[in-house]
Amino acid sequence: MELSITRPDDWHLHLRDGELLEAIVSHSSYNFGRAIIMPNLKPPVTKTSEAMAYRESILKALPESSNFTPLMTLYLTDTTTPHEIKLAKESGVVFAVKLYPAGATTNSQHGVTDLFGKCLPVLEEMVLQNMPLLVHGEVTSPDVDVFDREKVFIDEVLSPLIRKFPRLKVVMEHITTTDAVKFVDSCDDGFVAATVTPQHIALNRNSLFQGGLQPHSYCLPVLKRETHSRPFKPSIYSESFLTFAYFFWSRVQMHNTLL
């Protein structure tokens, strides 16, 4: 008997550049057919021309026999223009724009400081161009507990964004809370989706402290309580498997259709 499995895609891939790119890309291209390439390099990929150059670097670093396809993204800033979104769409190689709230994660210092005050014309153009917005969904205010940053982002940023731009395609990346699961499921099909990472399925915040501080279990968004990670975990002994299967397959496949 032979079992054939469709080659998967990686919907959130950091290849970096230079020696790191050369070290990582062969592993990713061996396992995946396509990947959404994150743009938070130093300096970030903010222009279509930069995305095209980065794509060429990736293709040159691939093994000769590889047919891996990098799907490029732009790094949204306070000064991104609607014209840049048009260029991105016309390029045929840029498939989405990534929102990093400034200071939220690695190499996000050039990210957005005021989404509604500085990026509305760009978001309007993204709707017109059918260009998805990929979101690192955390607020960065020091007054907000680190474990609550995703929920507060949903309440204060994402929900108002969807209300203002109901036709904007949005992917909430690497979600970590039941709040995010419920929010995505509450939105109209075809416009809001999410991705989930293996570590947020397998681990919870206890993993950060068991046997002392465990730095290799630290990542952003930070791990949450088990009650948040449980809905992601497939289990043949409970209905949570159905919840996971529905969310993962319907919503991540929808991520595919958004692109």
* 126-139 confidence digits (pLDDT tens): 999 999 999 999 99
Residue listed under structure tokens 């465990």 = 214
Of 54, 123, 51, 132, nearest to 87 by C-alpha is 51
pLDDT of residue 5: 78
Q: With residue 198 as reference, give the H or E element that holds it.
A: helix 198-202
Q: For the chain, which ranges sit under pLDDT 50? A: 234-258
- Whose tokens are 């993962």? That residue is 248
Positive/negative CA dihedral, 38, 176, 250, 119: negative
Cβ pair 44, 107 in contact under 8 A: yes
Which two tokens mark 246?
A: 């529905």
Amino acid identity for residue 174 in this structure: H
Q: What is the pLDDT of residue 217?
A: 87
Q: Rg of the chain's alpha carbons, rounded to an integer?
A: 18
CA 16-39-9 angle, to 5 degrees, is 80
Backbone angles phi, psi at 12, to 5 degrees: -165, 95
> In this predicted structure, what is the pLDDT of residue 107?
93
